[in-house]
Amino acid sequence: MTTKRFFRSTYLLALIGANVAVSFAQTEKPDYTSKVPKFSFPNTLPEQEAALKTNRLLQRLNASRAKLAADRFRPIYHYVNPEGNLNDPNGLCYWQGNWHLFYQAYPPEDPRQHWGHAVSKDLVHWQDLPYAIYPNPEKQVYSGSTLVDGDRVIAMYHGTGVGNMVAIAKDPLLLNWEKVGDGAVIPSVSTDGRQLPYSVFDPSIWKKGEYYYSLSAGRVPEGPGGRPVRADFLFRSKDLINWEYLHEFVEGDRFTQIGDDGACPYFWPIGDRYILNFFSHMSGGQYLLGDYDKKNDRFVVTSGGKYNHGAVSPSGVHAPSAAPDGKGGVIVIFNMNPGKPTEGWNQIMTLPRRLTLAGKDELLQEPVEAMESLRYDPRHVGTLNLPSNQEIPLTEINGNAMEIIAEIDPQTAQLVELNVLRSPDKEEYTRISFFKEKGFSKGLDYQSGPGTASMPLDLVKLFTGDETPRPDNRRQRESLISIETSNASTLTDVQFRAPETAPVNIAPGETVKLRVFIDKSVVEVFVNGKQCVAARVYPGRDDSVGVSIVAKGGNAQLKSLDAWQMKSIYGDSRL
């Protein structure tokens, strides 16, 4: 063999060897084992409770919670995880006498998403538990839901890098999770290289008959001009391992926006209908109401609405987690984004809301009943006339962790404002505004015959100045509820948020009932059980604890106002 041929052969052998090594490296699975301590627990409740008392990971979480409690902006009755950052709530469920809340957690020694875990008897008082689901073979444990299925709870979630995963727990406190199969049950890539007709992301799960069903989040380029629109792809399985793709699930959706996607879907019965709660990375939390066509496995939509009335960030409501309450309603909880840097933590959870229906298509939402258990030091303000444009400080009402219930007769006022977290000279305040009949009208009612359309009274007045009542021009405009935070803080590192403004239907003669929850760096406002707006706020002054009320554009009357200071939701160790 000549020297030239020798080197050529040696080069070819080296190249073949390199290709073999690359091929082997490509098929070898990376090791994503978590650095966070992981424990196996006994399988009876007394043994689990005893093991938790000495568990060093839980001791670490408890110590971190105690240390972070000194932060002036950390809420005391909205759930916040005990250490590190926080993202989506996941897998809310009721199991063996307890509510379980899971969430995307970022442990300090391995800040990839794990499922954090907390447990509650009443959805208000929470106890931290060790991390529930750890990454590997997935790189990160992303969002998903749970299903209580006989003697077990099934979690289905997205594992980044591999696809949608399934894990199962059967123990009393859901401490021991076992993953199903040897990887993703719905892989994110095709085994034969074909383009998948669906996307693989944020799954939900339910059961009908002998099949398990799952939605996988996404969107499709089927909007006007090929622009993307929301999609949720339906799968079914008999064994949780082998899943068959069926089709897109939602039929007749004209309520979501061009550009929305269907992340974090939760599909549950509500009353005699069904609700699909989900999150759009473009426009935030939303819901669709409709009927479940079980024969064709389609969700036929008849109504929809939003939980976000502005961008999700900064300081806005983010993604949902939801579960049936066993009484015909649905419990939903969201995470909320920060608007200011905070050391050692960032996001919080909203108060749990109970969703019910009024009629066919109107969604009602109220804080869960057990919120009343946190009240103490009650204060009361009786009937108070509100002359136009005269702001009235309510000097006996103050605090930065309290609940307020105010009933207002708007009378001739166009706007009534309740200012909270207000400093004495109004350097800082958060404004809650009710705009009477300043929202959309119901538009024109088109019909055949001599008259082609009828016009509501508000439009008649706008275009003609004529206020004469007629059967075809009834007043039908929505009112608006708004929370505005641009004056909430004098601190320079707080990010501004545009006013969060939502429609609310208030009938003629109906009083306005505001239920306001103030908790250090968050304000949530429920209106007549029909609407909710919320925002993060960061008052920089210690004296920004006052409350005032003012009517504008006419007179109003405060019929009554009750306020309570609120206790912390932590410290109760009962399971």
Model pLDDT, residue 471: 45
Whether residue 9 has pLDDT greater than 50: no
CA distance 477 to 480: 10
* Pair of tokens at residue 491: 């601190």
Q: Which residue has the tokens 């298509």?
A: 361
pLDDT digits (tens, 9 = 90+) for 520-548: 999 999 999 999 999 999 999 999 999 99
Model pLDDT, residue 412: 97
Mean pLDDT of 45-51: 98
DSSP state of 224: G
Q: Whats the size of the chain, residue-wise?
A: 575
Whether residue 451 has pLDDT greater than 80: no
Residues with Cβ within 8 Å of 29's Cβ and at least 6 positions away in sequence, in order, are 137
Model pLDDT, residue 22: 35
Q: Which domains does the chain have, with CATH numbers?
A: 135-367 (2.115.10.20), 374-438+479-566 (2.60.120.560), 441-477 (no CATH)
Give the residue, 451 or 102, on which the prediction is more confident. 102
Residue 156: closest CA among 206, 196, 106 = 206
Q: Which residue has the tokens 């749990």?
A: 352
CA distance 177 to 154: 9
Neighbours of 69 (CB within 10 A): 12
Residue 244: closest CA among 290, 213, 210 = 213
DSSP state of 540: -
pLDDT digits (tens, 9 = 90+) for 63-89: 999 999 999 999 999 999 999 999 999
CA distance 75 to 263: 27
Mean pLDDT of 191-218: 95
Between 20-24, 224-228, 303-307, 339-343, the lowest mean confidence (pLDDT) is in 20-24
pLDDT digits (tens, 9 = 90+) for 551-563: 999 999 999 999 9
Please report the DSSP string for 444-506 in residue order.
Answer: -EE-SSS--EE--HHHHHHHH------TT------EEEEEE-TTS---TTPPP---EEEEE--
Amino acid at 379: R
Q: How many Cα neighbours within 13 Å face the side chain of 346?
A: 17
pLDDT range class, residue 222, cuts 50, 70, 90? very high
Q: Are 299 and 321 in contact (CB under 8 A)?
A: no
Model pLDDT, residue 574: 46
Neighbours of 392 (CB within 10 A): 16
pLDDT range class, residue 1, cuts 50, 70, 90? very low
Mean pLDDT of 385-397: 98
Q: What percent of the chain is predicted at pLDDT more than 90?
A: 87
pTM value is: 0.92
CA distance 497 to 506: 26
In angstroms, how far apart are the furthest CA atoms of the chain? 109
Beta bridge partners of 502: 481
Run of H or E residues at 83: none
Q: Which residue has the tokens 């089709």?
A: 247
Q: Tell which phi-psi region holds residue 121, choosing left (phi > 0), alpha (psi between -120 and 50) or beta.
A: alpha
Model pLDDT, residue 469: 52
Please report the DSSP string for 369-381 in residue order.
Answer: GGGGGGEEEEEEE
Phi, psi of 381 (to 5 degrees): -120, 125
pLDDT digits (tens, 9 = 90+) for 457-507: 555 565 555 555 544 444 569 999 999 999 999 999 999 999 999 999 999
Strand ranges, E, within 150-210: 152-159, 163-169, 178-179, 186-187, 203-208
CA distance 347 to 342: 9
* Pair of tokens at residue 338: 């920060």
CA distance 395 to 463: 44
